[in-house]
Structure 1
Amino acid sequence: MRELDSCQNDFQSALDALLAFEEEANANVNHVVEEILSHVKLRGDDAVVEYTCRFDRMSAESMKDLKVPREKLQEAFDSLSSGEQEALHVAAQRIRDYHSKQVQDSWQYQEADGTILGQKVTPLDRVGIYVPGGKAAYPSSVLMNAIPAKVAGVGEIIMTVPTPGGDLNPLVLAAAAVAGVDQVFTIGGAQAVGALAYGTGSVPRVDKIVGPGNIYVATAKRIVFGAVGIDMIAGPSEICVVCDGKTNPDWIAMDLFSQAEHDQDAQSILISPDAEFLEAVKASVKKLLPGMERKDIIDASLSSRGALIKVQDMDEAVEVVNKIAPEHLELSVANPDSLLPSIRHAGAIFMGRYTAEALGDYCAGPNHVLPTSGTARFSSPLGVYDFQKRSSIIHFSAQGASQVGRTASVLARGEGLTAHAMSAEYRIKDD
């Protein structure tokens, strides 16, 4: 792991270098994705089946072979142990309870002359959720993407999940049953994004696509945006821990591991004013790493993008956090509430020594789909609001149209838009 000190003359440039990350622009990836999307748009189901067989080692003859019957979802849930069933239900209920607080209602108000203004909030008709597959199975992603959509009132949820070699994790299907997913297709990659964005004979066209994926999925989402809505372009996982030096160093080391084990490009950063504590955590990392199942990935991640940052005090720690704008922020300190008002940029904030980021990944309640790569400066976690759209309501009374029409007329003529002005002027009453 890199070691930085805020007292160093080159600290800001070193921090910039640490945070700099761009997946290599790959012209070949763009070309491949554009070709796949164009074929899916033109040939529909046939193209989806062809690409799925090629990339995921499947032997499907038609889309019927790639659609999971709804009864299979419940069968998958029934096949789980009682402990797994309980875990899914508890996580789902906590996620549902949290997101129910986010529901936005329509509203109106009436002005003195009888004019009514307001906003109509409407759920999306149909949403596609992309669930990663291949290296690992992510039932938590099913819950985090589908449940807010259901809470928002989305009419239909279409789920796609790649199953290389035909291997489909029963926990993923069970999570789809618990979350109320309507249709499931075992397709992935750019062809799944294309199918959701454009529609095929079997896969309905959706209004929005949510969920993370690999570079092919991210590239496809970027290209289809505009034809369909998307949630965000997700980068590698990130965790930033601020600690006052009083938390068990083994806990902190494992918190850093929890994101590093995702991917060698994941980023784990610890910030503390306590130099001895940073050394203790470094020792814990060395001690605990050999026993980790994904030690090679963790080691690669920490070596290339991990860091221990020594700051002068907690005020400076907060400054560094706001510069990083991390996906996950742990405030592992005695009084996290004292720091909270100064935190401006973070996807999710985990308060106190006992709040491991891993709890947020699965069952705390708030969404684990979070802005990465510094986009927490302007972006927010996935939520119910991502599955609702807003329409303005404008209903002028005769008196209001006459009065406001005068203002509109002046502004329209100032812009040289005569028809706009006259449209308003026709409704102005003579005094």
Structure 2
Amino acid sequence: PRGARPTVALDEAERELWVSLAHGAAEPALLVTTGLWTLPGWGTGDGPAPRVAGSSLSARSHISDMGLPGMLNAVKAFAFADRTDAAARWCETLSEEADWRRAPGWQAAVNAVHAEVLLLQGRFAEADQKAAEALADVPMGTDSVFVAGPVAGRILAATATGRYEEAARHLGRRLPERVHHTLDGLGYLRARGRYLLAIGHAQAALDDFLCVGGRTVAWGIDKPGLIPWRIDAAEAWLRLGEENEAERLITEQASGVEVSNSLTRGMTLRLRASTAEAPMRRRLLTRAVGELQKSGNVYELARALADLGHAHRSTGDRSLSESVLQRAWRLAQECGAVELAEQLRGPSVRFEGENDAQSKLSESERRVAALAAFGHTNREIAAQLHVTVSTVEQHLTRVYRKLNIARRQDLPPQLRIPLNQVA
């Protein structure tokens, strides 16, 4: 409680926490969460939080109603410390046990956290699936604040992949009023803001982001490294043309990240670059790319690379620009960020191998290869092109030989077209 006693020196607070961890009745994973929110450096890859979290999870042989919240907090500690792969593996382990024990409530809780971890990796399709599974295990009509987290996850996944109508449907789901007094409620507000920003309603998005900030301040949990609402708000200010307001928030974010991870640092550096002069912009973006590579978030890395590619182009380094933009495009394709991928496929960028692949194939081979690359079966291709299945197989054999590949999964993605777009 604020005002209850003088602020404790950080070294003393850390010493007290270690004593607590050694106590027989201690719940290590819950104390890890305390450390994340109070002690600088505890949540980083080199800090104690991941080690304690790992010990907490490894020491438990089975899930229990009392132990599950602590175990999930330990998973979140892993994810926050740039250990998202380890966090995802623990989610799979916990999910298998919940399934074996036929405990849908436990399964829902694990799937909700798993969706958060997958979002941190930019694996949107899988995150959406886990969030959907979490919601499916909640009884219909239940007036539970739990649903806010998975619903927010589905909104974020749909927005990042350009499925705005789907995101709007999730936003139409009625949530209990008390959800706005919870941390998951903050996540829901942030997800709604990201959707509004994506569809061009920057002012409404800014209102949501500033509301998140206001509540974190009022609740005494304004930790830029843990709830980086200033990054979202600064992006909205930039869309509104208010560069001074954006710079103010970016400066606050950069100076207040005493507890942080690579993802937050990388996103902060990327936004700082957007208001910097050309030479400094490239340096900041290069640092941002380095941080985001460590974070494992494919989507944010693609965004930073896209900005870096444009920065190289603005200084006349066209060759390096195209190389960086190609990499950004491949990552955007990988995580399903359709709009970002389309933006990167501008007429001035030639993607490596694209013209070569097209020129090697006959018109008939190109059409068969394009449909195969999109995922259609040989029978579907034959029916659409009014040829035999044998003809399709012969065309594909020649395509594989000309492109020096062994299977349809290796077909260049730029060939892909759906059935309804075949001339």
Q: Which TM-score band applies after superposition, normalised by the shorter structure?
A: under 0.3
Structure (1 or 2) with the greater strand fraction: 1
| Larger RCO (alpha carbons 8 Å, 6+ apart) | 1
TM-score (norm: length of structure 2): 0.22
- TM-score normalised by structure 1 residue count: 0.22
More helix by share: 2
